[in-house]
Amino acid sequence: MKSPIKNQMNTVFVHVSDLLTSVKWYCRLLGQTYEAEEVREPVYKMNINHYTGLLLDAGPRGEKKQVYPSKHPIFNFYTDEIENAYSFVKELGYNVDSPIERYDDLAFFTVKDPDGNIIMICNA
């Protein structure tokens, strides 16, 4: 049976409690700029390459969202320079959750965003 659902990830939603704080955090992490006046509740669409998008969701307007972060990474950002990425995140003063872990052809570390969501930085 052919499925009408495509074999493609479209958008990752990251639930946040303070949209502007999260936009600043993710933009710094990814080396992006933003205009504060363009950050409007309840969501902000990050500029992400390829098919998959990243939407920061502070959802419903006028209410502060209660965020319950996962104890595990919810997605990863790619790097082909794991050591430089680790140093960069440390220089930003971000909450590094784990040191670099290395396997045969895989290396990664994790960082927590302002709401405690665990994000993996990975070379695969």
pLDDT of residue 4: 66
pLDDT of residue 10: 84
- Give the integer Cα–Cα distance in Å for 7 and 9: 7
**pTM for the full model?**
0.87
Q: pLDDT value at position 46? A: 93
Whole-angstrom CA distances from 11 to 7, 50, 82, 96, 110 are 13, 11, 25, 25, 21
Q: Which residue has the tokens 């493609």?
A: 8
Residues of the chain with pLDDT under 50: none
Task: Report the pLDDT value the prediction gives residue 45, as an integer from 0 to 100.
Answer: 93
- 33-39 LR contacts (CB < 8 Å, sep 24+): none
What pLDDT is stored for residue 124 in this prediction? Answer: 85
Contacts of 23 (CB under 8 A, 6+ apart): 34, 39, 44, 56
Report the pLDDT value the prediction gives residue 55, as an integer from 0 to 100: 92
The whole-number pLDDT of residue 62 equals: 87
